[in-house]
Amino acid sequence: METKSVLELRAGPLTMTFDASNAFIRHIRWGGQELVRAIYGAVRDHNWATIPSAITNLKTELGNDSFRITFDVTCCEREIDYFWRGSIRGDPSGKVTYVFDGEARSNFQRNRIGLCVLHPVEDCAGRRCAIEHVDGSREIGTFPRTIWPEQPFFDIRAIEYSQVQIRCEGETFEMEDQRNYGDASFKTYSTPQRLPKPAPVSVGQRVRHEVSVTLTEHPRIIVADRPKFSFPNIGRRIDIDLSRPDFAKALEHIAEPLHIAFTYSSEDELKKLAEAVKRIKPNIAVWLVYHKNETCTSTQSLLAARKALGAGAEFAGGTREWFVDWNTQRPPKDYPGMLAYAATPHIHQPDFTTMIENIAGLAHGPESAKAFSDNPVVISPITLSGPNLP
């Protein structure tokens, strides 16, 4: 009998789903409250790319208030050949346990192998939590309300919030604020970022992780006071390459106001661009300015571009990467332009469910930027790509 791609599961008072296409446990809930966004296994190479997984030998035992699921996963791409067995159990008591038991079948370099836990931003941001560290000590903390530039918590063995405990065994775990990359979640993961990466993996090397979710008491029903955001202005963007001798052709026949992005490395390039603008007179709403040698466009580089191109359009400077760059390299208060950064809803996982969930994460960047800048924010470009997309 063919297995459904998404299974509805129950462990006592907890409900959740299992996605047979990628072995994710999603949306662990008690009543209407989401306690855990997802638990999943990942193999990530030396460039942080997630290696595609093929699920086989899936077996399910489903009861009215319990379940057991086992499966095999093969992750193969280029030189990487990794195999792991997964087992997920839900008990009538309200306990869910996910085991990852893996073994390398080739030699390669990796940045991460094992289980990750996603915590929902909507219900966790600003919430108090208790951390049990690897050495047995305990810390009372708070999930960051605005986007945290560094890891909120380190050396995690277990975390408690909303009357649920999540225990992570097999390695030392820590947490990151994934809103830095546009995701709508906090992520508890291993291996700690402080350890050298990429790390070598040898044939036969094993990793075993176990993550358990346990109700510490019946959770209270909480209606989250979620922020309301105004609908942003939408603009179209084109990129021009100032190193190309024919770059000015991209400025011709522009009828509607556009966002024009360019990267420069010299005043001579700015001069040539200014001459082309003076001759063509394109309809430009915003200049998105990047400097070849800077992660985020500096005040000096943005002022040079403003001086060369003159008035008539807004200016933004920033990064072609993610909000994390501005969050860790915060601009001065007198920064002479809007703050620009890129976004994509599938930086960590390319499946449609993750992308839909992460739409909510886009709103947190501009709100968090208010903590260190009064300037407006330009999120550009917003891109979609990947193996599951046309």
Q: How far apart are CA 19 and CA 7, in angstroms?
A: 7
Inter-residue contact 10 to 61 (CB < 8 Å): no
Q: How far apart are CA 198 and CA 301, in angstroms?
A: 33
Q: What is the pLDDT of residues 200-239, one digit of tens each?
A: 999 999 999 999 999 987 555 444 445 555 556 677 888 9
The single-letter DSSP state of residue 173 is B
Starting at the earlier edge strand, list the strands of the sheet with 284-291.
Answer: 237-241, 258-264, 284-291, 314-318, 338-343, 377-382
Q: What is the pLDDT of residues 232-283, one digit of tens each?
A: 667 788 899 898 888 998 888 787 888 999 999 999 999 999 999 999 998 8
pLDDT at residue 355, rounded to an integer: 74
Q: What is the pLDDT of residues 66-93, one digit of tens each?
A: 999 999 999 999 999 999 999 999 999 9
pLDDT at residue 216, rounded to an integer: 86
Q: What is the pLDDT of residues 112-160, one digit of tens each?
A: 999 999 999 999 999 999 999 999 999 999 999 999 999 999 999 999 9
State pTM to two decimals.
0.76
pLDDT at residue 1, rounded to an integer: 40
Q: What is the pLDDT of residues 12-57, one digit of tens each?
A: 999 999 999 999 999 999 988 999 999 999 999 999 999 999 999 9
